Amino acid sequence: MKRKLIVILVLSVTLLGCLNNTHPNNTHIASSNNMSVANILPNKIMGMEKFVALKGKLALEFVKKSHIGPIKYVKDIALVHYIGNNSMMIVWITEYPSAKIAENQTLLMVKGMRKYGNVWSLVNRTSLDNLRAYYIPEKNHYFFCIGKYMIYLIPINMSKMQIDKFTEVIVRSIENH
């Protein structure tokens, strides 16, 4: 299992790292001062190092390819990996113009998943570190909004307690931003 996880990690980091560094359209959606929503996230969480795989327009293009419904009102977006301790956390962080829009987009995502069906229809409410979140059991994915940000988490080889702790750090980082 550990060997399989390591192979998956290496391949995904290598592939996304190549995309991030060589794509000619690797520009930021956000502001002209090259700020990225990825900068809000800490460089290290629970001993796992941050790796920004995709950001800005390239990240948005990637996300659009994996979604059925429309993606609207995105101010900035990044796909970040945290790797270490035989674990990995994939974080999609999306910035919207306001907290109200982030909340509405989160609820629309829930509605869209339920409508789409399959394992996505099993999306349900849960809590992460006392925060209202949504969970897709078959995929072990979580997502929630905090302020004007939506966070989508894909934990690999992490316990619920570790996921809660990771979430706590992310939320604190956003609140202190």
Beta carbons within 8 Å of 18's beta carbon, 6+ residues apart: none
Identify the residue whose tokens are 């520009």. 27
Give me the mean pLDDT over the 62-85 stretch: 92
pLDDT at 89 exceeding the cut of 90: yes
Instruction: Give the highest mean pLDDT range of 70-74, 100-104, 115-119.
Output: 100-104
Question: What is residue 70's predicted lDDT score, i.e. its pLDDT?
Answer: 83
- C-alpha separations of 24 from 37, 70, 79, 103, 112 in Å: 20, 24, 18, 33, 32
Residue 127 has pLDDT above 60, yes or no: yes
pLDDT at residue 35, rounded to an integer: 81
Tell me the one-letter amino acid at 145. Answer: C
Residue linked to tokens 């929630």: 144
Helix orientation angle between 56-65 and 2-22, rounded to the nearest 10 degrees = 120
pTM for the full predicted model: 0.81
Q: What is the mean pLDDT of residues 144-158?
A: 97
